[in-house]
Amino acid sequence: MQNESFYKLIKPIIILLYIVIGIYAFKFVMDYVLRWVLPFIIGFLLSRMALPLRTLMIDRFRMKDKLASVLATTLVLVLFLGLVVGIIFFLYQGILPFLDNLEQLYEDLSAQLSQTGDRLMEYFSSLPEALRESLEEAMKGIPRSIDFAGLIGGPLLRAAGNVPLFLLSIIATLVSAFFFVIDNKRIRNFVTKLIKPDLYTKISRTYRHLFSNLFKWLKSQTILALICAVELLIGFLILGLKHPLLLAGIIAFVDFLPVLGAGGVLIPWALIAFILGNVKLAIGLLVLYVVILMVRNLVEPHVLGQQIGMHPLLTLFSIYLGFRMYGFLGMLIVPLLFITVIQLNQWGYIRLWRDKNTDSEEEALPPDSD
């Protein structure tokens, strides 16, 4: 009786310890393992999309296995590359008009910064000597002009240095996708020989559940991106900007990606507008960003929770934790990790806490069911 009471007392600590260990293990995998095998993971995911098409070709058109595998994989890869090229082309066409005015923008920004610096120096001359000297010393560290060549050239040089690695990764992704489809049965048989059948069943079931939730997450992010696009379109129409639909589409696409978000475009844009003296546009962009941020924080936990079946509070916590760990990429991965752990506990594969539905689910669903 005392042992049971003691176990109930320390159980939350044990669960917290498991969570901490899991987070550190996840961070190790992300930092040191994932980047080495990422092309093969992408190739594997692409092959999963090609397998149903291969089965359709074999059943409907009576094709041979290898021919159907090659055709199905080729079609999926062409569609995937076409989508990537189409997105790049869309962004290029949208950004091209702004690049034409880049030189003029540079001159305007440099002149505005120089004038702002001169005005500040005039203002400092009326201040007490000690304070004036401190401020003037601090102002010396602020550049009077913007080095666009350095800002743009540095990343371009680093990107150029990574071109061989990028090309090798693309080749590894494409080739691995072909082999994952063509030798699907052979690879599966090899894996089943390495691990026990019941463990293979659990891994396969978990993989299918995780893959399903990934598509649900993409669906939820699409909904959020559409909401963001509508907000941006309304805001740009109110501000009287040119090409509001195109601008809203580009920024909504950036917001969809787990990299920058809408603030990665709106905040620098507002800063540039303020420096150029367009205070009205700067304030309007900042207000628009605050509205988008507030709506997203209110809607995202509910939408994402509905799609992946997790409580909005836990969804919000997982999003926050993911953002603190890996920025916007973590906002994708950590919620999926949370829902997978919850489902594993419900299935009885792990025992972090007692779930009332665990026993009934184990009886209703045999281990090899999906």
pLDDT category, 257, cuts 50, 70, 90? Answer: low
In degrees rounded to 5, what are phi and psi of residue 195?
A: -125, 165
pLDDT in tens, 158-216: 655 677 877 888 888 888 998 999 888 888 888 888 888 888 888 888 878 777 777 77
Place of tokens 């962004």: 91
- Helix (H) / strand (E) containing 20: helix 2-28
Query: Which DSSP helix (H) or strand (E) runs through 168?
Result: helix 163-182
* Assigned token pair, 240: 């009287």
Distance, CA of 159 to CA of 188 (rounded, Å)? 37
Give the model confidence (pLDDT) of 92-125 as tens digits.
666 665 555 555 666 666 676 667 666 666 666 6
CA-wise closest residue to 329 among 60, 21, 15, 34: 34
* Longest Cα separation, the chain: 90
**Phi, psi (degrees; rounded to nearest 5) at 276:** -80, 0
Distance CA 327, CA 175 (A): 31
CB-based contact 320:294 (threshold 8 Å): no
CA angle 104, 95, 145 (to 5 degrees): 35
Mean pLDDT of 139-163: 55
Q: What is the pLDDT of residue 276?
A: 75
pLDDT at 180: 92
pLDDT tens string 309-353: 677 677 778 777 877 777 666 777 787 788 888 888 888 877 766
207-227: b (≥16 Cβ within 10 Å) or e? eebeeebeebbeebbebbbeb
- Give how far the C-alpha of residue 276 lies from the chain's centroid of Cα atoms, to the nearest Å: 32
Could you identify the residue written with the tokens 């026993």? 359
The per-residue pLDDT for 7 is 65
DSSP state of 241: -
Average pLDDT over residues 253-280: 78
Give the pLDDT band of residue 89 (cuts 50, 70, 90).
confident
